[in-house]
Amino acid sequence: MVYVRKSVWANGGGFDDPLLYWYAIGVSALQKRGLNDNTSWRFMAAIHGIDITSSDGSLWQQYGYYTPGEPLPSQADQDLYWNQCQHGSWYFLPWHRGYIWSIEGLVRAEIIKAGGPKDWAMPYWNYSDQKNPQALLLPPAFSATTMPDGSANPLYVAQRYGLGSTPIVLPASDVTLGALSATQFVGLKVGASAGLGGGKTGFSHNGIQTGELESKPHNIVHVDIGGQNDAGPGLMADPDIAGLDPIFWLHHANIDRLWDVWNKSSATHTNPTDPAWLNGPQDRKFVVPNVDGSPYSYAPKDMVDTTSPNLNYTYDEFVVATAVSSVLTSNVGEKTLSQSQEPELAQEPELVGANASVVNVTGKMSSSNLALDAQTSALLSVNPTQNLQAKLAQPARDRYFLNLENIKAAKDGFVIDVYMELPEGADHTGRMDLFCGSIGLFGVRKASQPDGAHGGAGVTEVMDVTNVVAGLAQNGALNKGEFSVNLVPRITLTDDAKVTVERISLYKQSA
């Protein structure tokens, strides 16, 4: 049997759908097991991330998921399984595929024990489905506090703060699928796109530069659901607690589906063939529990074909070749190519502009000016008698990438919208012509810790701003040889968030 993963909205998104009713039954069974049981809900969440030793008290303790003194797994099991999620890495997609497969099997086993369907499979939340007017809404089965019989709903968690709305509704701009226009899985060039799946790394629990699919919609949806309040981040907003939220798995099932969508949409959309990717990192192996609790070690090469005997699942819906262009973003500030693919860029990216100092992101908006080099300034300067398109005519259009380098923060759970040349006091929501993209700060807290694997380097976000640069140049806004970059947090940032950007730079890449 090949298990078929179905949409959470296939039958209304509530407990009238047996798919979600039985998910709740399975989750409840796993939640009743101790943290020292490697088939328990909390143990599985700890595989993604856990911190129960912080001197200032961990979020696990604060939110009631860990009680000091309760039985823990052996140190050997903690070292083997815990704090394993891959972020900012070309291993992001294959690692999470194995992780979802593991929890799916554990939940299914409990469903079958309870008399449920033997073919149950993890649902996915397709929040980008433009045919479904409810797609952006948190499915009702996750917002209800009780089950149909009046018992507590195991799919509900209190720490979903979102953007302040009840129920949670995702912004449409956060779930656009520009990532699917990436031509390559791996980004190899500093300063430009990290590709669909991320840059080449070793084992990367807190990576520096995310791939396009990880950046958006993955990171931003995490933050849009988790959010922040005075108590701290919601579960989904911090990698150390995200796996505790039952909606986590449906979000990641959708990200996994989108990887399959990308693979199926073009014969050139291929996964890496580099042995370093196929065989996985050598410094630490990927391990999840089998249904019987025994360890299952895997590498990316085991995750390539979802219908292979070791995985044995598929999805009920794909977006294939001719439809990819219809799901790409329509935002002016992002990729809006007439074709479904971005052009192949062979030359190394060239640094053509940068700001002069670290940016402290506080309050409602922070800005910094980037000075262009003389050659680029001359290229992008026009006067009323010039035709910019003729001036920039080349065999293939140059592309410009805005880099926000080494973003650091003391907290996760914020979204920052990025603009260029936003007029002072302007309503930024009406200036999509100046919109570059959004950053979901998910995982930045641990990536900023000096004792971390990357020495507290933080994370780097790269945005394709070709259309914004072209529009500014056409309007003469770049004639002065510099431009401003405007960082607009969705909620006012207080000083204790300690969000900084070490450098903002502009790179040009030509065919």
Instruction: Report pLDDT digits (tens) over 293-305.
Output: 999 999 999 999 9
As a whole number of angstroms, the distance between CA 274 and CA 258 comes to 22
The phi and psi torsions of 479 (rounded to 5 degrees) equal: -65, -25
**Vertex 187: Cα angle to 419 and 216 (nearest 5):** 45
pLDDT digits (tens, 9 = 90+) for 319-378: 543 334 444 433 334 443 333 344 455 578 999 999 999 999 998 999 999 999 999 999
E strands along 176-328, which residues?
186-187, 198-199, 228-229, 232-233, 286-289, 295-298, 313-315
Which residues are within 8 A (CB) of 476 and not within 5 positions of it... i.e. 6 or more apart? 381, 382, 383, 384
Which residues are within 8 A (CB) of 55 and not within 5 positions of it... i.e. 6 or more apart? none
Buried b (16+ CB within 10 A) or exposed e, 247-274: bbbbbbbbbbbbbbbbbebeeebebbee
As a whole number of angstroms, the distance between CA 213 and CA 202 comes to 19
The tokens 């900023």 sit on which residue? 448
As a whole number of angstroms, the distance between CA 212 and CA 177 comes to 9
Q: How far is the CA of 430 from the CAs of 331, 390, 426, 434, in angstroms?
A: 12, 29, 8, 9
**How remote is the C-alpha of 289 from its chain's centroid?**
24
Q: How far is the CA of 174 from the CAs of 37, 62, 169, 196, 396, in angstroms?
A: 37, 29, 11, 17, 29
Instruction: Judge contact between 235 and 227, C-beta under 8 A.
Output: no
Q: Which residues make beta-bridge pairs with 296?
A: 288
As a whole number of angstroms, the distance between CA 230 and CA 236 comes to 16
| DSSP structure class, residue 32 | T
Name the pairing type of β-strands 198-199 and 186-187: parallel
Q: What does the mean pLDDT of the chain come to?
A: 89
**Going from the N-terminus, what domains does the chain have, and what CATH number goes with each?**
3-315 (1.10.1280.10), 350-509 (2.60.120)
As a whole number of angstroms, the distance between CA 504 and CA 485 comes to 8
pLDDT digits (tens, 9 = 90+) for 474-483: 889 999 999 9
Look at residue 372 and give its three-state secondary structure. Answer: strand
Instruction: Judge contact between 154 and 15, C-beta under 8 A.
Output: no
| DSSP structure class, residue 492 | P
Cis peptide before 289 (omega within 30 of 0): no
User: Which of these, 492, 463, 367, 353, lies nearest to 421 by C-alpha position?
Assistant: 367
Indicate the residue type of 237: A
User: Which of these, 175, 174, 181, lies nearest to 196 by C-alpha position?
Assistant: 181
Instruction: Going residue by residue through the chain, which has 511 residues, state the pLDDT in tens, using 9 for 90 and above.
Output: 899 999 999 999 999 999 999 999 999 999 999 999 999 999 999 999 998 887 556 899 999 999 999 999 999 999 999 999 999 999 999 999 999 999 999 999 999 999 999 999 999 999 999 999 999 999 999 999 999 999 999 999 999 999 877 889 999 999 999 999 999 999 866 788 889 999 999 999 887 889 999 999 999 999 999 998 888 899 999 999 999 999 999 999 999 999 999 999 999 999 999 999 999 999 999 999 999 999 999 999 999 999 999 999 999 987 543 334 444 433 334 443 333 344 455 578 999 999 999 999 998 999 999 999 999 999 898 765 555 555 555 444 689 999 999 999 999 999 999 999 998 877 788 788 999 999 999 999 989 988 766 678 899 999 999 999 999 998 899 999 999 999 999 988 888 899 999 999 999 988 6
CA distance between the termini of the chain: 47
Cis peptide before 217 (omega within 30 of 0): yes
Which residues are within 8 A (CB) of 74 and not within 5 positions of it... i.e. 6 or more apart? none
As a whole number of angstroms, the distance between CA 125 and CA 127 comes to 6
